[in-house]
Amino acid sequence: MEKNQIQDYINSNKDRFLNELLDLLKIPSVSADPKYKGDVEKTAEAVKKRLVEAGADNVEICPTKGFPVVYGEKIIDPKKPTVIVYGHYDVQPADPLNLWDSPPFEPVIKKTAGHPEGAIFARGSCDDKGQMFMHIKAFEAMMKTNTLPCNVKFMIEGEEEVGSPSLGPWIIENKEKLKGDIILISDTSIIANDTPSIDAGLRGLAYMEVEITGPNRDLHSGVYGGAVANPINILCKMIASCHDENNHITIPGFYDKVQEVSKEERAELDKAPFDLNDFKKDLNIREELGEKGYTTNERTGIRPTLDVNGIWGGYTGEGAKTVLPGKAFAKISMRLVPDQSSEEISHLFKKHFESIAPKSVTVKVTAHHGGEPVLVPITSKGFIAASKAMEETYSKKPIPTRGGGSIPIVALFKKELGLDSILFGFGLDSDALHSPNEHYGLFNYYKGIETIPLFYKYFTA
């Protein structure tokens, strides 16, 4: 009966639930760009307001060194389990703006591939405002129908997209406040709207920046060309040498801690339906590319990677300038899998990159933020509750998958609070997160709101 009550409440509030999300999406909470500082703070206020309206107690905007954490709770009975909901209200920068079909902070609803009933187009619609807001609406529905079966604590941060630098310290200072039984997060994807899945792991991240210096100034490329090192030529060679002909990474020791996934588990993970032709068509590529010996799903799920995120130097303006640049730069990131450590890999990278540079240049390697990979035990109470909840609303058992992205704070939840996280995502990989025309399906939004209360039910039972 409970379920119908909640479903009725959701059905009769559908339009309002949507409009409230659209309002949230209109605030450009780009955490990476100081220009939007005021808007990020305004978004925290908006989240606070919605938590209060939904029925949360002790709602506060908790200051940190960076953007605040929005906290709120409902303790119905200290003897009952406590679900801690984590999400983020900050978003990625919207650029390149010219590639958006509609302005990123003026949400519009349109039909698109994979979403015949329409999707909300806006930066943050899927990652993570839309997914985070489902939890506030699901909580509201449980509160207004008197069906909340356990305690809830909300912890919504504003710095996930810049590596969560302030949330770690905040958690350590607030361990008492954050006593609970499980962390619940919707910030990942499912396979397809008719194929639910739950990530049983996420990759970690080591993010580096390199600077190659050659001659002490930019030079005439005719007068000096051929006689001194060109830092861009050298950098390209160095980067190219980081993969061998099988696309294995060549950094000594890089794979030492990589957990080999058993044949059985690989077979299990390979049950996830995947159409390579659709994959190629969606990305408009003739052929996929990756580490030899692994399938596309394995390459993004259980294997580590090394990728250049950006590379610059020399002349990139209009027309041609004949110059031999004095410097070259690149941002290089590595996705990590259990049991690689972000600090260790950063160190191995630095040592290796310095060692392969010819004498004709000098190399400076610095590390940016990182994060550890995580695994979620699929036999745990939380995973099973999530699985049952999805099975009920999708009429299909969700498939355990591995997420290729990273949520660095998840490893910290385990380390500092001793809590596992349930990666209860409802987005699609094709929702263009971090890209132009990010969107989130209306189907996915409402399905999430409908499924979340069932997690509470099964986790409490």
Beta-strand runs (E) in 19-81: 57-62, 69-74
How far apart are alpha carbons 84 and 437 in whole angstroms?
31
Residues in binding contact with ligand BES, number by CB under 6 A: 18
The catalytic position among 90, 159, 199, 431 is: 90
Cβ–Cβ under 8 Å, residues 304 and 254: yes
User: What's the start-to-end Cα distance of the chain, in Å?
Assistant: 16
Q: Does 441 bind ligand BES (CB under 6 A)?
A: no
Q: How far apart are CA 408 and CA 249, in angstroms?
A: 22
Nearer to ligand BES, 161 or 438 (CB): 161
CB 213 within 8 A of CB 354: no
Query: Could you say whether residue 403 binds ligand BES (CB under 6 A)?
Result: yes
HSE-CB at 310 with a 13 A cutoff on CA atoms is 8
Identify which of residues 148 and 422 has a Cβ nearer to Mn ion in the complex.
Answer: 422
If binding is defined by CB under 6 A, does position 421 make contact with ligand BES?
A: no
Contact with ligand BES (CB under 6 A) among 198, 269, 407, 454? 407
User: With binding defined as CB under 6 A, does residue 340 bind ligand BES?
Assistant: no
Choosing among Mn ion, ligand BES, none, which partner's interface includes residue 340 (Cβ < 5 to 8 Å by kind)?
Answer: none
> Which residue, judged by CB position, is nearest to ligand BES in the bound state?
405
Per the annotation, the verdict on 160 as an active-site residue is yes
Angle between helices 14-25 and 129-144 (to 10 degrees): 140
Could you say which of 39, 187, 372, 450 contacts ligand BES (CB under 6 A)?
Answer: 187
Quick one: tokens of 430? 């094709």
From the list ligand BES, Mn ion, none, partner contacted by residue 421 (C-beta under 5 to 8 A by kind): none
By CB under 6 A, name the one of 186, 300, 406, 421 that touches ligand BES. Answer: 406
* Among residues 188, 297, 340, 421, the one that binds ligand BES under rule CB under 6 A: 188
Q: Is 108 helix (H, G, I), strand (E, B) or coil?
A: strand
**Distance from C-alpha of 305 to C-alpha of 288, rounded to nearest angstrom:** 15
Name the binder of 215 from ligand BES, Mn ion, none, CB < 5-8 A by kind.
none
Stretch that binds ligand BES, among 159-167, 168-176, 260-268, 390-398 (CB under 6 A): 159-167
Query: How far is Cα of residue 78 from the mean position of the Cα atoms in its chain?
Result: 32
87 binds ligand BES (CB under 6 A): no
Q: Does 408 bind ligand BES (CB under 6 A)?
A: yes
Closest separation between CB of residue 92 and Mn ion, Å? 6
d(C-alpha 430, C-alpha 275), whole Å = 13
Q: From the list Mn ion, ligand BES, none, which binds 405 (C-beta under 5 to 8 Å, kind-based)? A: ligand BES
189 binds ligand BES (CB under 6 A): yes
CB of 429 to ligand BES, least distance (A): 7
Told to check if 124 binds ligand BES by CB under 6 A, we report no
Cβ of residue 312: shortest distance to ligand BES, in angstroms? 20
Bridge partners of 92, per DSSP, are none
Alpha-carbon span 343 to 341, nearest angstrom: 5
Whether residue 148 contacts residue 139, with contact meaning beta carbons closer than 8 Å, is answered with yes
Nearer to ligand BES, 124 or 326 (CB): 124
Which does residue 163 bind out of ligand BES, Mn ion, none, counting CB within 5 to 8 angstroms by kind? ligand BES
For residue 438, state whether it binds ligand BES (rule: CB under 6 A): no
Between 30 and 142, CB nearer to Mn ion: 30
Instruction: Compute the distance between CA of residue 95 and CA of residue 49 in angstroms, rounded to an integer.
Output: 29
383 in helix, strand or coil?
Answer: helix
Toward ligand BES, which CB reaches closer, 50 or 203?
A: 203
Residue ranges that bind Mn ion, judged by CB under 5 A = 127-128, 187
Task: Tell me the C-alpha distance between 282 and 275, whole Å.
Answer: 11
The CB density around residue 430, as the number of other CB atoms within 10 Å, is: 18
- Give which of 174, 353, 339, 177 is closest to 252, Cα–Cα: 353
DSSP, res 258: P
Q: Does 430 bind ligand BES (CB under 6 A)?
A: no
CB of 337 to ligand BES, least distance (A): 13
Contacting residue, 163, 215, 400, 453, with ligand BES by CB under 6 A: 163
> 160, 161, 187, 199: which one is catalytic?
160
SS3 content of the chain, % helix, strand, coil (to 5): 35, 25, 40
Query: Can you tell me the distance from the alpha carbon of 190 to that of 260, in angstroms, rounded to the nearest whole number?
Result: 24
Sheet with 204-213, side-by-side order of all strands: 305-313, 327-336, 204-213, 362-371
Q: Which stretch binds ligand BES (CB under 6 A): 14-22, 45-53, 111-119, 398-406?
A: 398-406
User: Is 420 among the catalytic positions?
Assistant: no
> Which residues are marked as active site?
90, 160
Residue numbers at the binding site for ligand BES (CB under 6 A): 127-128, 160-161, 163, 187-189, 202, 205, 369, 371, 403, 405-408, 433
